[in-house]
Amino acid sequence: MQQKSLTIALAGNPNSGKTTLFNNITGTRQKVGNWPGVTVEKKEGIIHKHGYNLKIIDLPGTYSLTPFSIEEIVARNFILEECPDVVIDIIDSSNLERSLYLATQLRELDCCKVLFALNMADLARSRGIQIDADKLSELLDVPVVFTIGNKNQGIDILLKKAIELGESNAVVPQSRRVKYSQDIEHSIAQLQNFIEEKKNNIFLYNTRWAAIKLLEDDKIIKERILQKVGNSGHEILQQAQLQRKYLIDRFNDDPEIVMTDERYGFIVGIIKEVMTTSTRQRVDISRNIDLILTNRFLGFPIFIFFIWAMFQMTFSLGAYPMQWIDSGINLFSASLDGLLPNSLLKNLLLDGIVAGVGSVIIFLPNILILFFCIAIFEDTGYMARAAFLMDKIMHLIGLHGKSFIPMLMGFGCNVPAIMATRTLESEKDRILTILITPFMSCSAKLPIYIILAGTFFSAKAGTVIFAIYFIGILTAILSGRLFRSTLLKGVDAPFVMELPPYRVPMIKSLLIHMWDRSKMFLKKMGGVILIGSIIIWTLSAFPRNITYSTDYESQIKKVKANYLTEFTTGNENTKDSIEKKRDAAISKILMAQKAEKIEKSYMGKIGKAFEPLFSPIGIDWRGSVALLSGFVAKEIVVSTLGILYATEAEVESDALKKALLASNMTSSAALSMMVFVILYLPCLATVSTIRRETGSLKWTLFSMGYSTLIAWGVAFLIYQGCRMMGLG
Ligand code: GDP
Ligand code: MG
């Protein structure tokens, strides 16, 4: 028997529990991708229930359907153009007033059947909020179901009602909806009639809604009308202009603002009808917490403390599993070493792949912890407070506090950070934030600072690293100002900082959020790193037949011969020390040989070719190669330095420190290198994320070029400045 199908879309405010409900409904049968053309996450799943094929779509979270942000445009377009059979609006019952704005807009849209899920029913109850669902259902003429998403309650009823609604012949458009004041209703009616006349039967939308949008001067709808209706489209737009002018005269304000106010008035009315709050439990916990956490004097120090604690956790707690993984990798490569016969393939496997990929996997614990902390900030509602606190400072750059969230995440990894800019409403704000986020030093760069600062500024290493981070932040701020006043001029979009209520986070949702981000990180980095390691290794291992400047073989033979004579003539007690002396001499020769081999490899040649570019900032050919390899992933810089200085490629091994000290690198060169590292070209994964999120090759190239030029310039000033002051 052919099964019947229904498409059900889930709409709702961010954090209203959409994804929770979606996951509960679809279980594991879900597909995650992006909406065609834009990078807003699209989740869909198909399930078979009650004799139906149900296609469930998790729409992006939005507060309204006015096209300010990509999320809003996507959600609206989906409903308008794909016409799902049923739209379920997930309402946060503990926050009814805010949720109803979207709900009333959905009712106004009137192009599909709508059903309300009053989610977070438990939270509402515990706050003493009572909602009269029958009354709400009657007032807005929609079915209403209570649900508790995280406890899987009410979901079956919700689905049944959705199917029932989908199959019913409820009329769309329905009659009960937002009513505006007389003047506005008059203009709506006039324009609606005009559209009806001119639409040539090819009009897509509900005409009342189209009239409202035209009065609001909605650009997308205007464009659509021109596309679809052709010449009469122009007439419609002209008529809309006339009506708008009339309304502006009447109200001395933008019709959009007047209508928004009236909608809120309508909502306040509904709230009065359907919601009662028991006074005893009125004490709003969130407000009390906010008295401290967003306090004018305390808020900022507390915030700095949380950030400090986050980094502290990330690095100190991460150190233990890091050691375990490290010894695991060492064990693995030692056993491979024993198992495989000597060959080029073995070298590739051990020195290239295991060493390269291993150097990234080591950072997994840090990344998990960092993302776990960020998930806590988000799920408790503190992240919004952080944005609120930073709002003033961000205005210096011409951005909102909201942009601060991606920048903060940039300290972890720029890939999810840049993806987090999706929450920004204005396109220009997004691009600006994307351009400056890479100056936030990501965690992968930290090992480089640890090595360089530890080696050359041992006593003051902490301060130096802090200064490096500071240079990054300062560059971000200055660049932000520069872009705001040149390339990305714009007015701040009207915007209210949402302060959602505090919530005790659920451990399961924290883990899911953490894993979602880390998984993406692993997947992207894993692939790129694997390929990068193979390339770096290949470049350092070829060409094979090098003519060495010295005959290392015969040197070794000589050492061995010396040893034999010493050994046979020496006494029993000195044998150990003679053996040690021999091994030290041989390894010294082998290191010299390895160093020369690398210098003559393709990698050495590339480094030498780039040396003229880097020598003004105090970096020799080895540093050049390391920095170039950092394009693949910043973690590789340290392991490349390890390979080039002919030592073990271990992050904190003393061998690399000794080799660096013995080399001709000076402390001002080390400083210059660190500055260059924090500012230059982001890694490949970040670049491809920038490409995807800006949707523009131009901005991607600009970001790469700009950061590298700035890096070179600042490093030059610092290096030459230090030298002029005689600082080595
Ligand atoms: P989305 O942004 O709309 O997708 O929201 P999520 O599904 O990510 O949910 C946000 C948070 O609310 C998560 O921590 C959920 O566990 C929690 N949550 C979802 N539904 C309920 C509910 O009915 N009651 C309570 N107390 N929490 C819920
Ligand atoms: Mg979600």
Protein residue whose Cα sits closest to atom 19 of ligand 1: 17
Kindly provide the b/e burial profile for residues 684-723, where b requires at least 16 CB atoms within 10 angstroms of the residue's own CB: bbbbebbeebbeeeebbebbbebbbebbbebbbebbeebe
Q: What was the pLDDT predicted at 323?
A: 83
Q: In sequence order, what are the beta bridge partners of 5?
A: 53
- Inter-residue contact 455 to 437 (CB < 8 Å): no
Which helix or strand (DSSP H or E) is residue 118 part of? strand 113-119
Band of residue 273 on the pLDDT scale cut at 50, 70, 90: confident
Query: Given this model, what pLDDT does residue 175 score?
Result: 66
What's the 518 CA to ligand 1 centre distance in angstroms?
21
Question: What are 479-500's pLDDT values in tens digits?
Answer: 998 998 888 877 655 445 556 6
Per-residue pLDDT at 572 = 67
Structure tokens at 272: 């009065």
The number of beta carbons lying within 10 Å of the beta carbon of residue 45 is 19
pLDDT of residue 97: 86
Per-residue tokens: 598 = 């690398």
State the Cα angle at 126 between 122 and 128, rounded to 5°: 120
Could you tell me the distance, in angstroms and rounded to a whole number, from the CA of residue 75 to the centre of ligand 2? 13
Stated pTM of the model: 0.55
Spatial distance between the Cα atoms of 509 and 123, rounded to a whole number of angstroms: 17
Give mean pLDDT, residues 226-246: 88
The lowest-confidence range among 18-22, 100-104, 561-565 is: 561-565
Pick from 10, 13, 15 the residue to mutate for probing ligand 1's pocket: most ligand atoms within 8 Å of its CB.
15
- Name residues whose C-beta falls within 8 Å of residue 553's C-beta, 6 or more positions apart in sequence: none
**Contacts of residue 463, Cβ cutoff 8 Å, sequence gap at least 6:** 457
Q: Which amino acid is at 188?
A: I
> Which tens digits make up the pLDDT trace of 50-74?
889 999 999 999 988 888 888 899 9
- For ligand 2, the distance from its centroid to the CA atom of residue 143, given in whole angstroms, is 23
Check if the beta carbon of residue 378 is closer than 8 Å to that of residue 513: yes
Per-residue model confidence as pLDDT tens digits over 690-701: 988 888 899 999
Alpha-carbon distance of 670 to 449, in angstroms, equals 9
Ligand 1 in reach of 15 Cβ (< 6 A): yes
Ligand 1 pocket test target in 13, 18, 20 with most atoms within 8 Å of CB: 20
Instruction: Assess whether pLDDT exceeds 50 at residue 139.
Output: yes
Q: In ligand 1, which atom is closest to the CA atom of 12?
A: 3
- d(CA 324, CA 11) in angstroms, rounded, equals 44
Q: Measure the CA–CA gap between 59 and 543, rounded to whole angstroms.
A: 55
Question: Which atom of ligand 1 is the closest one to the Cα of 18?
Answer: 3
Nearest to 7 by CA among 162, 180, 119: 162
pLDDT over 90 at 674, yes or no: yes
Query: Which is it for the CA torsion 268, 102, 113, 58, positive or negative?
Result: negative
Confidence check: pLDDT of 373 > 60: yes
Amino acid 614: pLDDT: 94
- Distance between CA atoms of residues 448 and 450, nearest Å: 5
Is the previous residue joined to 447 through a cis bond, with omega within 30 degrees of 0? no
Mean pLDDT for the stretch of residues 392-400: 78
**What whole-number percentage of the chain has pLDDT above 90?**
24
- Does the CB atom of residue 43 touch ligand 1 within 6 A? no
* pLDDT at site 161: 94
Contact of 442 with 410, CB cutoff 8 Å: yes
Q: Does the structure show a pLDDT above 80 at 639? A: no
Determine what percent of the chain is predicted with pLDDT higher than 70.
92
Ligand (nearest to CA of 14): 1
Output the furthest CA–CA distance in the chain (Å, rounded). Answer: 115
pLDDT greater than 80 at residue 558 = yes
pLDDT of residue 654: 60
Q: How far apart are CA 434 and CA 437, in angstroms?
A: 5
Residue 171's closest CA among 113, 252, 121? 113
Any atom of ligand 1 within 6 Å of the Cβ of 61? yes
41 CB near ligand 1 (under 6 Å): no
At 462, give phi and psi (nearest 5°).
Answer: -55, -50
Q: Which residues of 405-428 are buried (b: 16+ CB within 10 A; e: fewer)?
A: bbbbbbbbbbbbbbbbbbbbbbeb
The predicted structure's pLDDT at residue 129: 87
Confidence of residue 378 (pLDDT cuts 50, 70, 90): confident
Q: Is 381 close to ligand 1, i.e. is its CB under 6 Å away?
A: no
Q: Which amino acid is at 105?
A: Q
Separation CA 17–CA 169 (nearest Å): 29
Q: Give the mutation target among 40, 150, 155 for probing the ligand 1 site: most ligand atoms within 8 A of CB.
A: 150
Q: Is 120 in the pocket of ligand 1 (CB under 6 A)?
A: yes
Q: Which residue has the higher pLDDT, 3 or 349?
A: 349
Average pLDDT, the chain: 83
153-202 per-position pLDDT tens digit:
999 999 999 999 999 887 776 666 777 888 888 899 999 999 888 877 76
284 pLDDT band, cuts 50/70/90, is low
- What is the CA(74)–ligand 2 centre distance, in A? 14
Instruction: Name which of 585, 587, 592, 597 is nearest 558 in CA terms.
Output: 585
* Sign (positive or negative) of CA dihedral 648, 653, 655, 656: positive
Run of H or E residues at 470: helix 461-485
In 3-state terms, what secondary structure has residue 456?
Answer: helix
Alpha helical stretches, state H, 142-280 = 155-167, 182-198, 207-215, 219-229, 231-251, 255-274
Element (H, E) at 114: strand 113-119
Using alpha carbons only, how large is the chain's radius of gyration in Å?
32
- Segment 574-629, tens digit of pLDDT: 777 777 778 778 877 877 777 788 888 898 899 899 999 999 999 988 899 889 88
* Residue 407 parent element (H or E): helix 404-410
**Vertex 637 angle, CA 635 and 639, to 5°:** 80
Q: What is the DSSP string of 657-689?
A: HHHHHHTT--HHHHHHHHHHHHHS---HHHHHH
Index of the ligand 1 atom closest to the CA of residue 22: 7
d(CA 699, CA 720): 31
Give nearest CA residue, ligand 1 atom 12.
17
Under the banding of pLDDT at 50, 70 and 90, the label for residue 281 is: very low
Cβ neighbours of residue 208 closer than 8 Å, sequence gap 6 or more: 110, 173, 188, 192
Q: Is the CB of 233 under 6 A from ligand 1?
A: no
Residue 532 CB–ligand 1 contact under 6 Å: no
- Count Cβ atoms within 10 A of the Cβ of residue 333 and give its class: 0-12 exposed, 13-18 middle, 19 or more buried: middle
Q: Which amino acid does the sequence have at 245?
A: K
Write the Ramachandran bin of 495: left for phi over 0, alpha for psi from -120 to 50, otherwise beta. beta
Pick the closest to residue 149 from 501, 499, 504, 509 (CA basis): 509
Nearest one of 75, 55, 56, 78 to 66, comparing CA atoms: 75
**Ligand 2 ion: Cβ-proximal residues, 5 Å cutoff:** 19
Is residue 45 within 8 Å of residue 25, measured between CB atoms? yes
**Cβ neighbours around 587 below 10 Å, total:** 10
Q: In angstroms, what is the span from residue 19 Cα to ligand 2's centroid?
A: 4
